[in-house]
């Protein structure tokens, strides 16, 4: 038992029963920890048809095999559950400093079932765990509640706290779980599940160590990785204004080559993800005007206000998640923004800038900073909320919503005041905000009047801010068991990871076709499968997506896993674990009645109808064929996505899951 703790904490919130449960080595060897352990546990313990907001649903807070082991960029945790947003598998990844604290309390995961009669929080340290009254923090926003609980529970060191804001308490289906004053596991509606259980927070105060197989080897490898990343820096002249030109260059290339993933780390170190604010406008990556527009609707005069240099101008200090040497985060001063209600905020990610920028034609960067803090505190997913606001604006523009519906708010493209007023209603479930708080699918069904024509979602979840028409592999990943997810992969990431150097079946890349000439094939399908499997191994290890895309030359997950566990498995062996995790996520959806075909992206997202301007003008994806080939190569039924008996046997899942 090296690299993992070998047990989990099981908390029944209905009865108050708290107990440890041992997990066999075989489970870790088959699924790792993190999302893999979560998938194994939830598949076996959530009954078919369970209400996602009912007592039978289980919320897991899981850490990775590499977390707290001395490895680098492996300090992320995940929330897992049956998603109330999609009705299928739900997970959400988060950074900050919570992940090692889970293992320091002596467990790999905490699983909550049942519903508490009154608001509670879980306190846990190396000695044990107990449920405590949370009445005094219920109703507080996530930052306030975190501060209060930190103070209340502090000993000789500050505890780590994960908490829901008002959105989670109100069971908004687009709410998440927050730690470190604004890092959020945002997707799949995990905050609503926590709120439905009357669980306000988790407070962790452990100090335990994690034994690993080869401490010296890990130390040496971490030194090598850390030195490389530390020494990789962009030249000083490299400023934010360059990115639109880079985007234009990318859009003109007929083919995209394999690249060195270290470039992404260098960009992330200096700027963070906000570089895509402008780069994605010229290469087409940014969705515009509720996915129906292009750079023609949000011209340079507007998008240049979201230049990453302008974002960095507010950064007062850098921020890193635990064990991270990239440090893409930052803390920004916003004390002069909109009356100074908020003093600081985490640097807004690209996803937030785009969700509340080009998607609703808003060029007010200060308003985006404000929205970032407002939604982090409420614990609401900025991607889903941004898609929902853009949907509402388009409904208003087309007479489907009126001022009578919105409580007097005149919704208009680019009107930051109206957007903020609408978000306040969503956070508090006031008036129209009650519909919109559950995302575009639920809102369109409740509004009726053909509002569904403007509801952009994949299987009930609002898509991330990356257009698959620019990167077709992203479109395949949008059909994941957690649909619409942008953080699994795409061709640009595959090209950087160089998996073919380690994995026998991963196709090598010299040049990669762009979307206008993309031809679905078994080879392309294998690339998406390799990316998925490696991403799930990353999530089972506590690794960060931005380390993953450094590639195996610079951050080698297979090597680190062997150093931590002593298993000495090959890359192919590990990739089989990744495939197994993905197949269990898919089986989870089958068990809960999800039709996989409902998770295939449709409409504007895939170019139906095609855009009339910008870099992706006229492009449509043959998504049916792309997904069919991916399912086929996974060993799933080509038409239904149901995993076949042969692959279930090959992955030993007939023994491992019931």
Query: Residue 156's CB: how many other CB atoms inside 10 A?
Result: 6
Asked if 539 and 532 touch (Cβ cutoff 8 Å), the reply is: no
**d(Cα 347, Cα 319) in Å, to the nearest integer?**
9
Stretch that binds ligand SF4, among 283-291, 316-324, 355-363, 573-581 (CB under 6 A): 316-324
Q: How far is the CB of 380 from ligand SF4 (least distance, A)?
A: 19
Stretch that binds ligand SF4, among 292-300, 317-325, 363-371, 443-451 (CB under 6 A): 317-325
| The 315-319 sheet, strands edge to edge | 315-319, 329-333, 344-346
- Site residues for ligand SF4, 243-272, by CB under 6 A, read 268
Binding status of residue 546 toward ligand SF4 by CB under 6 A: yes
Q: How far is the CB of 522 from ligand SF4 (least distance, A)?
A: 33
Residue 189 or 327: the one with the smaller Cβ distance to ligand SF4 is 327
Binding status of residue 95 toward ligand SF4 by CB under 6 A: yes
Contact partners, residue 555, CB within 8 Å, separation at least 6: 72, 73, 225, 543, 547, 548
Q: How far is the CB of 73 from ligand SF4 (least distance, A)?
A: 5
- Given 328, 368, 390, 526, the residue binding ligand SF4 (CB under 6 A): 328
Binding status of residue 472 toward ligand SF4 by CB under 6 A: no
**d(Cα 419, Cα 406) in Å, to the nearest integer?**
11
| DSSP β-bridge partners for residue 10 | 19, 111
- Given 84, 88, 240, 329, the residue binding ligand SF4 (CB under 6 A): 329
Q: Among candidates 642, 633, 631, which has minimal Cα distance to 522?
A: 633
Binding status of residue 73 toward ligand SF4 by CB under 6 A: yes
Residue 167 or 321: the one with the smaller Cβ distance to ligand SF4 is 321
Binding status of residue 584 toward ligand SF4 by CB under 6 A: no
One character per residue 366-405, x = contact with ligand SF4 (rule: CB under 6 A): ----------------------------------------
Question: Which pair of structure tokens corresponds to residue 427?
Answer: 């956070």
Question: Which pair of structure tokens corresponds to residue 36?
Answer: 């893999």
- Given 34, 60, 90, 327, the residue binding ligand SF4 (CB under 6 A): 327
Q: Phi and psi at residue 91, in whole multiples of 5°?
A: -150, 155
Q: How far is the CB of 95 from ligand SF4 (least distance, A)?
A: 4
Q: Give helix 439-447 / helix 382-397 axis angle, nearest 10°.
A: 30
**d(Cα 329, Cα 273) in Å, to the nearest integer?**
9
Residue 286 or 324: the one with the smaller Cβ distance to ligand SF4 is 324
**d(Cα 441, Cα 186) in Å, to the nearest integer?**
17
Residue 95 or 119: the one with the smaller Cβ distance to ligand SF4 is 95
Q: How far is the CB of 478 from ligand SF4 (least distance, A)?
A: 21
Contact partners, residue 414, CB within 8 Å, separation at least 6: 302, 360, 361, 362, 363, 364
Stretch that binds ligand SF4, among 125-133, 307-315, 321-329, 424-432 (CB under 6 A): 321-329
Q: How far is the CB of 401 from ligand SF4 (least distance, A)?
A: 36
Residue 60 or 327: the one with the smaller Cβ distance to ligand SF4 is 327
Find tokens 């926590």 and name the residue: 194
- Given 175, 185, 320, 384, the residue binding ligand SF4 (CB under 6 A): 320
**d(Cα 276, Cα 343) in Å, to the nearest integer?**
25
Q: How far is the CB of 323 from ligand SF4 (least distance, A)?
A: 8
Q: In degrees to the nearest 10, what's the CA dihedral of 572, 578, 584, 586? A: -110
Residue 264 or 605: the one with the smaller Cβ distance to ligand SF4 is 264
The CA–CA distances, whole Å, from 658 to 31, 45, 590, 621, 640 equal 15, 10, 13, 37, 21
Q: Where are the alpha helices (DSSP H) in 253-304?
A: 262-270, 276-283, 300-303
Residue 273 or 444: the one with the smaller Cβ distance to ligand SF4 is 273
| DSSP β-bridge partners for residue 122 | 131, 202
Question: Which pair of structure tokens corresponds to residue 205?
Answer: 């105060």
Q: How far is the CB of 328 from ligand SF4 (least distance, A)?
A: 3
Residue 423 or 547: the one with the smaller Cβ distance to ligand SF4 is 547
- Given 81, 204, 281, 321, the residue binding ligand SF4 (CB under 6 A): 321
Query: Residue 118's CB: how many other CB atoms inside 10 A?
Result: 9
* # chain residues binding ligand SF4, by CB under 6 A: 12
Binding status of residue 326 toward ligand SF4 by CB under 6 A: yes
- Site residues for ligand SF4, 525-544, by CB under 6 A, read 544
Looking at the chain, how many residues does it have?
658
Binding site residues, ligand SF4, CB under 6 A: 73, 95, 268, 320-321, 324, 326-329, 544, 546
């Amino acid at each position: 038992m090296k690299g993992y703790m070998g047990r989990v904490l099981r908390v029944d919130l209905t009865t108050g029963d708290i107990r440890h449960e041992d997990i066999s080595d075989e489970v870790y060897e088959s699924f790792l920890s993190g999302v893999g352990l979560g998938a194994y546990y939830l598949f076996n313990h959530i009954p078919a048809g369970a209400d996602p907001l009912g007592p039978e649903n289980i919320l897991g807070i899981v850490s990775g095999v590499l977390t707290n082991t001395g490895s680098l960029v492996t300090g992320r945790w995940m929330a897992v559950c049956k998603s109330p947003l999609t009705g299928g598998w739900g997970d959400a990844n988060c950074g900050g400093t919570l992940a090692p604290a889970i293992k320091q309390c002596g467990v790999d995961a905490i699983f909550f079932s049942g519903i508490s009669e009154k608001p509670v929080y879980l306190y846990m340290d190396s000695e044990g765990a107990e449920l405590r009254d949370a009445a005094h923090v219920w109703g507080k926003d996530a930052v306030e509640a975190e501060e209060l609980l930190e103070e209340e529970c502090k000993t000789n060191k500050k505890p780590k706290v994960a908490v829901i804001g008002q959105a989670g308490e109100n069971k908004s289906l687009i709410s998440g779980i927050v730690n470190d004053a604004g890092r959020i596991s945002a997707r799949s509606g995990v905050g609503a599940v926590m709120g439905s259980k009357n669980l306000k927070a988790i407070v962790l105060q452990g100090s335990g160590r994690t034994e690993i197989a080869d401490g010296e080897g890990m130390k040496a490898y971490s030194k090598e990785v850390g030195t490389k990343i530390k020494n990789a820096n962009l030249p000083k002249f490299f400023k934010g204004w360059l990115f639109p030109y880079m985007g234009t260059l990318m859009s003109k290339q007929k083919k995209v080559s394999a690249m060195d993933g270290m470039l992404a780390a260098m960009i992330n170190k200096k700027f963070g993800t906000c570089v895509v604010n402008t780069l994605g406008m010229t290469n087409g990556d940014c969705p515009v005007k509720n996915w129906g527009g292009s750079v023609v609707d949000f011209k340079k005069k507007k998008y240049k206000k979201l230049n990453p240099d302008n974002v960095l101008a507010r950064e007062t200090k850098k921020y890193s998640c635990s064990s991270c040497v990239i440090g893409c985060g930052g803390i920004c001063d916003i004390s002069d923004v909109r009356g100074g209600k908020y003093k600081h905020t985490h640097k807004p990610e690209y996803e937030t800038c785009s969700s509340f920028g080009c998607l609703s034609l808003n060029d007010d960067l200060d308003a985006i900073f404000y929205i970032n803090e407002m939604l982090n505190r409420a614990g609401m997913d900025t991607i889903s909320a941004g898609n929902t606001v853009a949907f509402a604006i388009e409904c208003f523009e087309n007479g489907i919503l009126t001022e009578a519906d919105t409580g007097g708010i005149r919704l208009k493209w680019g009107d930051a005041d109206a957007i903020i007023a609408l978000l306040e209603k969503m956070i508090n479930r006031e008036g129209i905000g009650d519909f919109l708080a559950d995302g575009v699918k639920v809102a369109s069904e409740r509004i009726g009047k053909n509002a569904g024509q403007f509801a952009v979602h994949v299987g009930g979840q609002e898509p991330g801010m990356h257009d698959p028409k620019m990167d077709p592999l992203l479109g395949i990943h949008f059909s994941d068991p957690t649909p619409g997810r942008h953080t699994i992969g795409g061709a640009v990431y595959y090209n950087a990871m160089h998996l073919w150097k380690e994995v026998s079946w991963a196709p090598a890349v010299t040049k990669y076709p762009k979307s206008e000439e993309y031809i679905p094939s078994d080879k392309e399908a294998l690339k998406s499968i390799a990316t998925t499997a490696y991403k799930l191994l990353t999530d089972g290890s506590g690794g960060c997506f931005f380390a993953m895309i450094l590639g195996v030359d610079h951050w080698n997950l297979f090597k680190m896993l062997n150093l931590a566990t002593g298993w000495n498995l090959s890359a192919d062996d590990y990739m089989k674990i990744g495939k197994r995790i993905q197949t269990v996520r898919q089986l989870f959806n089958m068990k809960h009645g999800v039709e996989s075909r409902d998770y295939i992206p449709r409409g504007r997202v895939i170019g139906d109808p095609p855009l009339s301007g910008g870099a992706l003008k006229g492009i449509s994806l043959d998504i049916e064929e792309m997904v069919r080939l991916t399912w086929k190569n996974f060993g799933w039924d080509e038409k239904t996505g149901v995993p076949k008996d042969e692959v279930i046997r090959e992955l030993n899942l007939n023994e491992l899951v019931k």
